Amino acid sequence: MNHRITIDDSEVAFDCGPQQSVLDAALRAGIELPYSCRKGVCGNCAGTVSEGEVAGLGGPIRNDSCAPGQVLLCMCAPRTDLRLRPASWHRIDPDARKRFTAKVFRNQLAAPDVSVLQLRLPAGQRARFQAGQYLQLALPDGSTRCYSMANPPHESDALTLHVRHVPGGAFSARVAQLTTGDTLEVELPFGAVTLEADADRPFVLVVGGTGFAPAKSILDDMARRRVDRPITLIWGARHAQGIYLRPAIAKWQRQWPQPFRFIEALSGEQREGAFHGRTDAALRAHCPDLRAHALYCCGSPAMVQAVREAAHASGLAPSRFHADVFVNGPADAWAP
């Protein structure tokens, strides 16, 4: 039995099946709510059910990022008609998501365990996405994996991915063998990490490992649009070789209108000029007062949660914490 879901203080309403997540039902109806991982980890989709009842879909419907009374809309289905109060929402075109057969143009080893994979779309085709969004890559067995676009949106005839080599990974373990001309099936865009509402605030990015990929897309896009705001980038890795695109950072430091501050956080070695420790400790040390800031964080679930706690302890408003959590394994299929 379907149930009717209404968004508070609006005329927006849509149907949701009994085993369909509230988030997927909204996306299918052309209503985009904040989301990223769609696995109950990142907390971006947390919202309030002001009327009605929900049930879990095989996992917890709350995590530490939820405020009192909130649930994870990606992890629950309606048991009755509902009224929702999401953090935000806007209308989208459900047909904007496209599938492409992309060809490998270049495959370079940027670090011992990271490949930078550049793909070209078929002639005359363009990918529409926002900086910070991700794609789903289809594998021969029918499963999918998610990777953030590292290129900015204006480079719409190509896609650049940063892929960490994970032992036994269905795609990452064989990415090093891909050569020019090989084809991959991709679908995009996914994700709703948007930063425009905070465009006048000092901006902090905290990333771990290949979490740098969406940050690079965001920063390249901001640089092209000549966004003039103070920016701090904290990039964490175990060792210095994990900071694998230093020329991009040097370019931003030369070109940014306001000071661009880069903090290299190394947890596995001491290096002159680098912070010795984890990204959350680097954030506490270098950004002790975040009351006027916006922050974007991308990395593993544990890293994002630690940075979230450090940011809130430094005064960051919860609504100004934008998270993109990298979760290993198959991606959930999006409801078409």
Class of domain 196-325: alpha beta
Question: In the chain, which residues fall in CATH 2.40.30.10?
Answer: 95-190
The answer, yes or no, to whether residue 329 has pLDDT greater than 70, is: no
What per-residue confidence (pLDDT) applies to 36? Answer: 76
What per-residue confidence (pLDDT) applies to 330? Answer: 54
pLDDT above 90 covers what percent of the chain? 69
What per-residue confidence (pLDDT) applies to 34? Answer: 83
Locate 31 and state its tokens.
């209503």
The answer, yes or no, to whether residue 94 has pLDDT greater than 70, is: no
Chain length of the chain: 336
CA distances from residue 34 to 17, 42, 85, 91, 241 in whole angstroms, order as listed: 20, 11, 12, 12, 34
Question: In the chain, which residues fall in CATH 3.40.50.80?
Answer: 196-325
pLDDT digit string, tens, across residues 207-245: 999 999 999 999 999 999 988 899 999 999 999 999 999
What per-residue confidence (pLDDT) applies to 1? Answer: 84
Handedness of CA 30, 31, 34, 35 (dihedral sign): negative
Least confident of 10-14, 51-55, 128-132, 188-192: 188-192
The answer, yes or no, to whether residue 100 has pLDDT greater than 90, is: yes
- Of the candidates 180, 144, 157, the residue with the CA atom closest to the CA atom of residue 39: 144
Q: Higher-confidence residue: 200 or 306?
A: 306
**Mean model confidence pLDDT for the chain:** 90
Q: Helix, strand or coil for residue 301?
A: helix
The answer, yes or no, to whether residue 263 has pLDDT greater than 70, is: yes
pLDDT digit string, tens, across residues 153-185: 999 999 999 999 988 888 988 898 999 999 999
Quote the Cα angle for 137-243-36, to 5°.
40
The answer, yes or no, to whether residue 336 has pLDDT greater than 60, is: no
Class of domain 3-91: alpha beta
Confidence band (pLDDT; 50, 70, 90) for 195? low
* pTM metric for this prediction: 0.86
The answer, yes or no, to whether residue 92 has pLDDT greater than 80, is: no
> 95-190: which CATH topology?
Elongation Factor Tu (Ef-tu); domain 3 (2.40.30)
The answer, yes or no, to whether residue 33 has pLDDT greater than 50, is: yes
Question: In the chain, which residues fall in CATH 3.10.20.30?
Answer: 3-91
Q: Higher-confidence residue: 236 or 145?
A: 236
DSSP string, 157-204: TEEEEEEE--TT-TTGGGGGG--TT-EEEEEEEE-----GGGTTS-EE
